[in-house]
Amino acid sequence: MAETSTRIHNIGYRSYEGSRLGRAYARRSLYSQSLRGAYGLGRSAKSKVLPMLLFAVMCLPAAIIVAVAIAVPGSKDLPLKYTSYALYLQMVIGLYLASQAPQSVSRDLRFKTVPLYFSRPIERVDYVVAKYAAMVSALFILTAAPLLVMYIGALLAKFDFADQTKGFAQGMVSVLLLSLLFGGIGLVMAALTPRRGFGVAAVIALLVIPYGAVTAVQGVAYGTDNTGAIEWMGLFSPITLIDGVQTAFLGATSAFPGGYGPSAGTGVVYLLVVFALIAGSYAALMSRYRKAGL
Amino acid sequence: MTVIATESLSKRYTKVTALDRLSLDIGPGVTGLVGANGAGKSTLIKILLGLSPATEGRAAVLGLDVATHGSAIRERVGYMPEHDCLPPDVSATEFVVHMARMSGLPPTAARERTADTLRHVGLYEERYRPIGGYSTGMKQRVKLAQALVHDPQLVLLDEPTNGLDPVGRDEMLGLIRRVYTDFGISVLVTSHLLGELERTCDHVVVVDGGKLLRSSSTSDFTQITATLAVEVTDSDTHPDGTRALREALVTAGVALHPGEEQGLPGAGHILLVEATGEETYDIVRDTVAGLGLGLVRMEQRRHHIAEVFRDDQQQGHQDPEAARRAAAWAANTAATAHAAQKGAGTDG
């Protein structure tokens, strides 16, 4: 003990003989740093405000739903399906993604920190995987937390356990898919530019403009009784893709006009498009960082 | 022991040849890699870190092949880039801890090593403040710290003195020297200024147009013959002390450097004496004493590396093309070194 306390005053250089945990550990470190960063942890107090606020906004309606369900006598189920929750709060999810995806990747590009990462034991694939996984995890926490609140509330209210568990599980699968899809396209948009502001704008544009267009065209199709076209329109915006997949496979009620969601057959196409977009996002990120090395 | 070895290493892009059959053998110590902008220095560093495949040839760092062991090399090597690479909104401590973990250090070790390393590069209380508020000199220290934090066996420093004022430049060069002498870490440092490397490096490698121009130890470059600068006072018996001394020295058979130093303050009063051995110092001392003059200074003045280049091409040791380029470039560097010397004061 005495030995170590005297060492404090020894200002000579000490070499490091301890363990070096290598590439997998470095990748995990980057993942946890990026995930924490997505909620402002380990960053300035100012950068904690927005993610924490959005997280609270995301969870608050769930808490109200639970409170109402418990307070209303004789209720047998939650007033809202688990799978519908993310659709109703898609603006909050969009804002979160638009603010945090550029934070995660644009900063490294803008301040040219990327070359420092690549001078470490990690490879390009480790950087992309760590950043992607961190963004997906952050989105999953954001979207799964309110569902968990609803599920716990439903169990406290002694609603049917099997029903609730099934609904909750379907909701979880849905938000996981949503996190993978949104995380991927959000990071690709953000990684296109070192400018954070452009990144924010690009992400919002990608989520809002196709959704607005799809909804408008679907509305027209519904108004002119072309209901068969409605289920195909949903392929062209991220959130309606998720809507379609969960309507076809996860027992969700579609938010499409008139509830004309895709059938199981069309649903396969939805699922393929979602997987193609996720794989495409990953490939786009990999090629983006081929040039961004040193 | 060899730290860096390359064998006919070439790197060709579609239009440019960045490296052209470069063969190097670099041992432990501080090695300077000198070349004009675009000479292939950064390309070489990229290849040595295993980040960019060579078009042909082989390279090994610390005995590991760069083509197959990139990850293992990067675990044992530190890299300080030329450009800015620091996020402004985090503190130096947070940033360096993160970079230490990216090199594989466990969390506790990363924190301890960060505190140690930042102290060694000369950052104290300010290390808890966001990097955005740092001066250029402090940022360069943080960049150096992140390259040293995992206790590498070799650091690659790309233009570490870029953007620093003369004092900051000297401090950085001193620090680089200490990285080897005190920390035992070998250094490869690039610069386009020969003058600044001759003070820091044990060995200098000069590349131009992706080709090896010259590789030898700094003492070979600069200490072929030592030159003494001597300045004396005047006295009543010898109103022009310098002239009296010159005549006396010539009589004593000491070789004087033909050209007196030009353009420096007090140039007319400095004699440049060629020291052939220990006895030259005694002769100068005795001659000055014999004349009854005051000896203001007698100091060793090294040749500048650039002068060696001029000598080389006068002797026609190199092929005409390389010599022509070297001459043009040496003239440039000499001018720069001269200007820097003028700025820094009279001691060479």
Q: Could you give phi then psi for residue B277, rounded to 5 degrees?
A: 180, -170
Compute the average pLDDT of residues A157-166.
94
In the predicted model, is pLDDT for residue B338 greater than 90? no
B103, B139, B182, B183: best mutation site toward chain A, by most A Cβ within 10 Å?
B103
pLDDT at B315: 47
* Chain A residues inside the 8 Å CB shell of B87: 107-108, 111, 113
Provide, as residue numbers in chain B, all residues whose Cβ is less than 8 Å from the Cβ of A29: 98, 101-102
Min Cα separation A90/chain B (Å) = 30
pLDDT value for B304: 55
B20 in helix, strand or coil?
strand
pLDDT band at B347 (very low <50, low <70, confident <90, very high): very low
DSSP assigned state of B91: B
Residue B20 tokens, joined: 């052209």
Q: What is the CATH number of domain B224-301?
A: 3.30.70.100
Q: How far is B146 from chain A (nearest CA, A)?
A: 9
Which pairs count as long-range contacts for B138-143, CB under 8 Å and 24+ apart, including other chains? B139/B84, B139/B86, B140/B164, B140/B168, B140/B172, B141/B175, B142/B86, B142/B92, B142/B95, B142/B96, B142/B118, B143/B80, B143/B81, B143/B85, B143/B86
Distance from CA of B64 to the nearest CA of A (A): 14
Out of A13, A122, A123, whose CB is closest to B183? A13
**CATH topology match: B4-220 vs B224-301:** no
Asked if B105 lies within 8 A of A107 by C-beta distance, the reply is no
pLDDT at res. B344: 43
Q: Greater confidence, B266 or A181? A: A181
* Residue A12 pLDDT greater than 70, yes or no: yes
Which residues from B are below 8 Å from A11, CB to CB? 119
Return the C-alpha torsion angle A137, A142, A147, A151, nearest 10: 80
Mean pLDDT of A11-25: 90
Which CATH number is B4-220's, of 2.60.40.1120, 3.30.1330.10, 1.10.540.10, 3.40.50.300? 3.40.50.300
Mean of per-residue pLDDT scores for chain A = 92
A16: chain B residues, CB-CB within 8 Å:
105, 109, 113, 150-151
Q: How close does chain A come to B246, measured CA to CA in Å?
A: 49
The ipTM is 0.89
Rounded to an integer, what distance in angstroms lies between the CA atom of residue B240 and that of residue B244? 6
Give yes or no for a contact between B159 and B81, defined as CB atoms under 8 angstroms apart: no
- Cβ contact, residue pair B85, A113, below 8 Å: yes
CB contact under 8 A, A107 and B151: no
Instruction: Classify strands B295-301 and B211-217 as parallel, antiparallel or unpaired.
Output: unpaired
Q: Is the Cβ pair B83, A294 closer than 8 Å?
A: no
Mean of pLDDT values over A148-174: 95
**Per-domain boundaries in chain B:** 4-220, 224-301, 305-344
Q: Which residues of A137-173 are buried (b: 16+ CB within 10 A; e: fewer)?
A: bbbbbbbbebbbbbbebbeebebeeeebeebbebbbb
Check residues A212 and B333 and name the one with the higher pLDDT. Answer: A212
Q: Which residues are within 8 A (CB) of A132 and not within 5 positions of it... i.e. 6 or more apart? A: A183, A184, A187, A281, A282, A285
Q: What is the mean pLDDT of residues A43-52?
A: 91
Question: A8-12, A263-267, B184-188, B289-293: which has the minimum mean pLDDT?
Answer: A8-12
Smallest CA–CA distance, residue B121 to chain A, in Å, is 11
C-alpha distances in Å from residue B19, one per residue of B28, B31, B57, B204, B318: 23, 19, 10, 18, 19
pLDDT of residue B283: 87
The answer to whether A97 and A58 have CB atoms below 8 angstroms apart is: no
B267, pLDDT greater than 80: no
Residue A293 confidence (pLDDT) above 70:
no
pLDDT band (50, 70, 90) for residue B244: confident
Cβ-contact B129, B161 below 8 angstroms: no
Residue B266 has pLDDT above 60, yes or no: no
Confidence of residue B107 (pLDDT cuts 50, 70, 90): very high
Closest residue of chain B to A20, computed from CA coordinates? B104
> Can you state the percent helix, strand and coil of chain A, rounding each to 5?
80, 0, 20
Q: Which of B81, B102, B151 lies closest to A16 in CB terms?
A: B151
Q: Where are the domains of chain A?
A: 21-291
Q: Per residue in A221-259, pLDDT tens?
A: 999 988 888 999 999 999 999 999 999 999 999 999 988
Flag if A44 and B89 touch (Cβ within 8 Å).
yes
**Residues of A contacting chain B (CB within 8 angstroms):** 11-16, 18-23, 25-26, 29-30, 33, 42-44, 47, 107-108, 111-113, 115-123, 293-294
Asked if B101 and A29 come within 8 Å (Cβ–Cβ), the reply is yes
